Structure 1
Amino acid sequence: MKYLSLAKSLEKLEDTTSYLEKNSIIADLLKETPSESMEMVVRLLLGRVYPAYVSQETGIGLQQLKKAVGKATGYSADDIDDLMEDIGDLGDVAEELTREKKQVTLAEGTLNVEEVYKNIHKLPTITGKGSVGRKTKTVDKLLADASPIEAKFIIRTVLGDLRIGVAEGRLRDAIAEAFDVSPESVEHAYMLTTDYGKVAKAVAEEGGEGLEGLGLTVGHPINPMLAQRSEGIDDILERMDGKAAFEIKLDGIRVQPHKKDDEVFLFTRRMEDYTSMFPELEKPLKKALKSDHAIVDGELVAINRDTGKPMPFQEVLHRRRKYDIKEVAEEIPVEIHLFDVLLAGEKTILDQPYIKRREKLEEIVKPSDKVKIVEQKTLTNPEEIKNFQQQALSKGHEGLLAKDLNSNYRAGRREFAWLKMKAKAETLDLAVIGAYAGKGKRAGLYGSYLLAARDPTSGELCTVTKVGSGYTDEELEELTNKFKKLTRKQKPSEVNAELEPDHWIKPEHVFEVIYDEIQKSPPEKHTSKYGLRFPRFVEQGMFCDIVSGVIF
């Protein structure tokens, strides 16, 4: 398939703000896309060459891309910098200079989707001495054969910012429209695969039956099911017909262990691979999971080596590191507490009721010192529920989680089938939209960030809070380096904000933020009309199509 066909569709998407028109443009493109190119086209529509569960960056920055543009077009670095000052987007600069380029290649080729995809896909694998030059040369070769419009979107894809207003949620409706299936069936298939490329290919080849044939794959994480907040015991019993399963709610990192024969993987709620960070759990997980193939859900908890009690959430976060893993493992031992199972053997069971999944979990897990099953009771009496909650709190846990006995596992959804009874601070996932320059010992770094939640009615990202605490010095430096690449001179179009940060940031990442209370805020301060009391940073993750909007 010619890359030009895709580039022209991307340009149309950039030129319209209409939701329905964008859907039609994508649907028309997908209808014309050959099956063998479908996964690549869908991922390129999202401005990347990896599915959502793979956290991978190209490793080539703006300055290197400027060199590639200069090499391909024959223009100097000063020419490119001058145009950048006027235009502000290197993709647009590449388009203009390609249109007027001085250096004519001996034989301009016709780019196809596969060539563009594979060359960008291999950029992260180019490492070692001289890797920056080899990466630049790889992009330069693509640009040398590119038409102006192709050059624009090649550059934007490498940067991970197409600027066309297409997120994963929009693809659901476009795929449904293109192949005449229900949006719900497309969404369900995506929740199982976390890959709209794979979903689109399956439905293109086999229609609805292709979607039904998609299932969980060990080694590919899926979005976990999330819980809503409850108003208390009476609210829970009313919603769950007077009877529910109550599990102890642990204060740790949500994890999704996978087992395939002798291999074990450990993924987080953000679908990041943490396997290498917790090597001491590999053998215990292999032994505890009796099924050869399994995907389970649980919580990773830090344990006080003297008392045997769980440690605060912040302690387990110290285990997230690439170096000195063995030493820190000795200082901060961890346990995994499992509470659900999604796949056992070759059978996907997330559509079975909770009570059946719990039975299967107890069947396939042999508890040990490192791998345990979360304590659970089925209760109807409010006093018994209160007593169980007090027991959980006295052991150092957060509280209880109530689950509807007949509910299935809704991957990626926040449902009232799971309700939180917590005595500690809540958390929200909020989009990072701005940064403020640090002062004092934080000089030279971004010292705090402006965060927003998506308004479910307007779709805008409305400000909720500024967060300047909870970071380690190492995290502040890492976050500053990451977000400097995403700064914008102008406020992003999807952001609704009255506050003016020092730097606007493309909303591509979220912070999980812990807070004590949600309180009303005047709209001239926060456009969501709400703010957070004592917000603290917990961790950073990739921006999903849905940012927590429970405040609205």
Structure 2
Amino acid sequence: MNFLFFAELCRKIESIKGRLDTIDLLSNAIREVECPDLPIFVRLILGKPFPDWSPLKLGIGPNLLYESVAYVTGRNREKVLSTLNSVGDLGRAVEEMLESKSQTSFFSEELTLAEVYSSFEAIAQAEGGKSQKERLRIIQRLFSVATPLEGHYITGILLDDMRIGVGEGNLRDAIAKAFDVDSGLVEHAQQILNDMGEVALLASQGKEALSHVRLHLFHPVRMMLARQGTISEVIADAGTIAVEYKYDGARFQFHKQGSTGRMYSRKLEDVTNSLPDVVSMLLNATDHNLILDGEVIAIKDGRPMPFQTVLKRFRRKHGVADAVEAIKLVPNVFDILLLDGEILLDQSFSERRKILTEVLRDYATPQLVSSDLIEIEQYYHQALDNGHEGVMLKLPNSRYTPGMRGKDWVKIKPEVDTLDLVAIGAEWGEGKRAHVYGSFLLAARQDDQLVPVSRVATGLSDEQLTWLYSTLKDEVIHSEGKMIFFEPRIVFEIGYSEIQQSPNYEGGFTLRFPRFVRVRDDKDIREANTIGDIEERYLTIHPELR
């Protein structure tokens, strides 16, 4: 398949307003793609060349794009930035600049989908001291051969920011329609495989292929998520519930086969080499091949330490041995997904818990099973007294649903209400903070887009502002006066006193007295809260408006 066909399809999708029309267009296109190209096509439509669990990452920031486009079009960096600032979107700016490129093959080559994907693989695999130059060379070559329209969507994929409005939901339904299979089968396969490209290939083979998807060791799945709620409402709805500590740590998924163990973060990144001590603990705690779900916390003098302490270990690439001595980590396991080849996702939580305690000698999280409000509240306060965030309430008959935030797990904690929002822009600080970003523009998700809902300036220390500036300065895509806009990469946990309706923000809501709590390095931007979440919280306080 020519990449130009892919780019033209993306342009058509951008022009469509309705969800059903988008699904129709996608499903028709998917039917036309030959099998070797199908996984690539589907991944690139999502703007993600590699599955989340893959060790391959593009890791391209806007600055490398600026340099590549400047070289290919014969402009200097300032001219590139000027064009970007006037257009406001890097993909469209690249398209405009490639209309008059100088270092060009005059379109003598036609890019294929496979060739573009091969280039992405080469970028992700570049290592060593000359890796940056190699990545630059590959991107320059792509832009020199690409048509302006192709350059637009190559840019979107490189920056993980396609902006065509296609998310996993639309793609799931399009794949189901293209191959006449049930969308539930497609969704279930995606929950297990975490690779919509592979799911599409299986769907092309029929429902039997989708029905036989299995969990595989060392191929992590997304972790089940919890919603906020209250103890009384969960008891009223479910009666007897399982109650566990809610830890202020970092989620992990542990895979073991024989004497080999590997650990994955909430974002499905392999963190085995950063946490050799935790891996060793879990290897020694069981004789079975399995997949475990849990949370690791840092301990000092018998008390849990803050979340940021754990993240220092998760981020660690060098000096791991010293870090092991400095920061003691302890795993807390609360679920089991696979045991000796048997998939446990569809078994009830109570049955999975029974299996877990039978096969794991240590590190299973404490649990209370009760329907008594007073007893559960006492357990909740015990968790707080022990230095934990609160408790998790889990329905005993619930199945494990990877990546889903349903009603079966509920988190209870006493902190001020918080939202997980994506930092999409910033404004320069003033005075002693004039050299860093002083406030941040925050967005919630809506229909696979990011919609501004608030700004935050309070709660940020000078050290945090310095770190955020150094982290985000290479992600800038354009500026407007004192405002800087960058690629959405980081999730902020934001506390607030109240949600208010607001005509000043596109999402229709804003936060009263927003306060920065922490950076959620463990969360992908797809896990940020939605406008729907914010509206639901608002209507909970104002039921008369429902």
* Cα shift at 1:353: 0.6
Determine which of 502, 511, 515 is the counterpart of 1:523: 502
Taking a change above 3 Å as real, the CA distance of residues 469 and 258 of structure 1, as seen in their structure-2 partners, is farther
Match for residue 151 of structure 2? 151
Give the 3-state SS of the residue equivalent to 1:509 in structure 2.
coil
2:337 maps to 342
Q: Is the 8 A contact 1:425 1:514 kept in 2?
A: no
Shift of 1:133: 3.3
**Which ranges of structure 2 fall in alignment gaps of 5 or more residues?**
536-546
For residues 464-492 of structure 1, give each alpha carbon's deviation from its aligned partner in whole angstroms, at most 9, with x where no partner exists. Answer: 452543567367435543365244457xx
Counterparts of 1:120-159 in structure 2, within 5 Å, are 120-159=120-159
Q: One-letter code of the match for 1:25?
A: L
Which whole-Å CA distance do the structure 2 matches of 1:126 and 1:83 have between them?
30
Residue identity opposite 2:114 in structure 1: E
Determine the C-alpha separation between the residues in 2 that align with 1:44 and 1:545: 20
Q: For residues 447 and 254 of structure 1, what CA distance do their matches in structure 2 show?
A: 30
The alignment partner of 2:216 has SS state of coil
After superposition, where does 1:190-269 map in structure 2 within 5 Å? 190-204=190-204, 206-232=205-231, 234-240=232-238, 242-269=239-266
Task: State how far apart, in whole Å, the 2-side matches of 1:264 and 1:471 are.
Answer: 38
Distance 1:74 1:534 in 2: 45
Q: How big is the shift at 1:335?
A: 0.4
Maintained 8 Å contact 1:513/1:539 = yes
Distance 1:133 1:416 in 2: 49
| Corresponding letter in the other structure for 2:345 | L
Where does residue 34 of structure 1 map in the other structure? 34
* 2:273 counterpart (273, 276, 281): 276
- Cα displacement (A) at 1:298: 1.0
The answer to whether 1:415 aligns with 2:401 is no
**Equivalent of residue 297 in structure 2, options 298, 301, 306:** 301
Q: TM-score, normalised by structure 2?
A: 0.86
Q: Is the 8 A contact 2:222 2:403 kept in 1?
A: yes
Could you tell me how far 1:374 is from its partner in structure 2?
0.7
2:533 aligned residue: 550
Q: Which moved more, 1:439-448 or 1:351-360?
A: 439-448
Which whole-Å deviations, capped at 9, do the CAs of 1:54-74 have from their partners, x for residues lacking one?
A: 476535554544554465566
Q: Which amino acid aligns with 1:485?
A: E
Give TM-score scaled by structure 1 length: 0.85
Equivalent pair of 2:422/2:492 in contact (CA under 8 Å):
no
- Does the C-alpha gap of structure 1 residues 415 and 148 become closer, same or farther in structure 2, counting only changes over 3 Å? closer
Deviation at 1:218, TM superposition (A): 2.4
After TM superposition, give the deviation of residue 221 of structure 1 in Å: 2.6
Question: What is the aligned partner in structure 2 of residue 315 from structure 1?
Answer: 309
Please give the per-residue CA displacement for 1:108-148, whole angstroms capped at 9, x wherever unaligned: 23321111101122113223344333323223333444334
Change (3 A) 1:184 1:464: farther
Query: 1:497 — aligned with what?
Result: none
Give the number of aligned pairs.
Answer: 530
CA distance in 1, matches of 2:133, 2:276: 35
1-structure distance, mates of 2:309, 2:73: 52
Between 1:402-411 and 1:105-114, the stretch displaced more is: 105-114
CA distance in 2, matches of 1:519, 1:459: 24
RMSD: 3.2
Q: SS where residue 533 of structure 2 aligns?
A: coil
Taking structure 1 as reference, are residues 272 and 17 closer, same or farther at Cα in structure 2, changes over 3 Å only? same
Q: What is aligned with 2:4? A: 4
Please give the secondary structure, in 1, of the residue aligned with 2:273: helix
For residues 253-273 of structure 1, give each alpha carbon's deviation from its aligned partner in whole angstroms, at most 9, with x where no partner exists. 222222233332222223333
Q: 1:146 to 1:409 in 2, by over 3 A?
A: same
Q: Residue 286 of structure 2 aligns to which amino acid in structure 1?
A: L
Counterpart residue identity of residue 285, structure 1: L
- Separation in 1 of the partners of 2:315 and 2:450? 34
Q: Which residue is equivalent to 2:542? A: none
* Helix, strand or coil at the partner of 1:373: coil
One-letter amino acid matched to 1:300: V
Residues 19 and 383 of structure 1, relative CA distance in 2, 3 Å threshold: closer
Deviates further, 410-419 or 269-278: 269-278
Letter in 1 for 2:207: G
**1:419-430 map, 5 Å:** 419-425=410-416, 427-430=418-421
The one-letter amino acid paired with 1:352 is: Q
1:402 maps to which residue? Answer: 393
Decide whether aligned partners of structure 1 residues 191 and 442 sit closer, same or farther in structure 2, where only a CA change above 3 A counts.
farther
* Kept in 1: contact 2:73–2:97 (CA 8 A): yes
2:544 is aligned to none
Shift of the 173–93 alpha-carbon distance from structure 1 to 2, 3 Å rule, reads same
Is residue 226–residue 412 contact of structure 1 (8 Å, CA) maintained in 2? yes
- Which is worse superposed, 335-344 or 248-257? 248-257
Distance 1:278 1:459 in 2: 35
SS in 2 for 1:177: helix
Unaligned runs of 5+ residues in structure 1 are 491-499
* Structure 1 residue 180 corresponds to structure 2 residue 180: yes
**1:401 & 1:220 partners in 2: Cα distance?**
26
Asked if structure 2 preserves the Cα contact closer than 8 Å seen for 1:252 and 1:313, the reply is yes
Distance 1:55 1:402 in 2: 34
1:7-156, aligned counterparts within 5 Å? 7-54=7-54, 57-62=57-62, 64-66=64-66, 68-69=68-69, 84=84, 87=87, 91-92=91-92, 95=95, 105=105, 108-156=108-156
Give the drift of 1:532.
Answer: 5.7
Q: Pick closer, same or farther for the CA change 1:167–1:489 going to 2, 3 Å.
A: farther
- Preserved contact between residue 90 and residue 477 of structure 2 (Cα < 8 Å): no
Instruction: Give, in whole Å, the separation in 2 of the partners of 1:339 and 1:185.
Output: 27
Matches within 5 A, 1:311-390: 311-322=305-316, 323-367=318-362, 372-390=363-381
- 2: CA distance, partners of 1:520 / 1:61: 34
2:159 is matched by which residue type in structure 1?
A: L
Residue 444 of structure 2 corresponds to residue 461 of structure 1: no
Structure 2 match to 1:485 = 475
- Distance between the aligned counterparts of 1:150 and 1:185, measured in 2? 33
Larger relative contact order (Cα-Cα within 8 Å, sequence gap ≥ 6): 2
Distance 2:125 2:219 in 1: 20
Query: What is the identity, as a one-letter code, of the residue corresponding to 1:333?
Result: K
Question: Is the 1:431–1:452 Cα contact (8 Å) retained in structure 2?
Answer: yes
Give secondary structure in 2 for the equivalent of 1:544.
helix
Q: 1:487 to 1:71 in 2, by over 3 A?
A: closer
Structure 1 212/510 Cα, relative in aligned 2: closer, same or farther at 3 Å?
A: farther
2:81–2:478 Cα contact (<8 Å) kept:
no
> Among residues 500, 518, 523, which one is paired with 1:537 in the alignment?
518
1:239-296 deviation line (CA, Å, top 9, x unaligned): 11x211222222222222222333322222233333222221122111113212x211
